[in-house]
């Protein structure tokens, strides 16, 4: 399972990417956040394998 953290300040883009990736059985979206501070905290706490940044 690939653990993914999503970061985007546009709520619609963030939600669409989350939906798209969640359809993949090998992907677990561990968090979807809207700013850099939240991303840093989530990355430190959740230890994702991949981070999508925009």
22: containing domain: 2-53
Per the CB < 8 A criterion, the answer to whether 7 and 46 are in contact is no
The total number of structural domains that make up the chain: 1
**Per-residue pLDDT reduced to its tens digit, 2-47:** 999 999 999 999 999 999 999 999 999 999 999 999 999 999 999 9
CATH number of the domain bearing residue 17: 3.40.50.2300
Please report the pLDDT score of residue 22 as a whole number: 94
pTM, entire model: 0.93
Please report the pLDDT score of residue 30 as a whole number: 98
Angle at 22 between CA 54 and CA 32, to 5 degrees: 40
């Amino acid at each position: 399972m690939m653990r993914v953290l999503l970061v985007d300040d546009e709520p619609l883009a963030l939600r669409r990417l989350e939906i798209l990736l969640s359809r993949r059985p090998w992907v677990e979206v561990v968090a979807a956040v809207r700013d850099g501070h939240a991303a840093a905290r989530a990355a430190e706490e959740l230890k994702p394998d991949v981070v999508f940044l925009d």
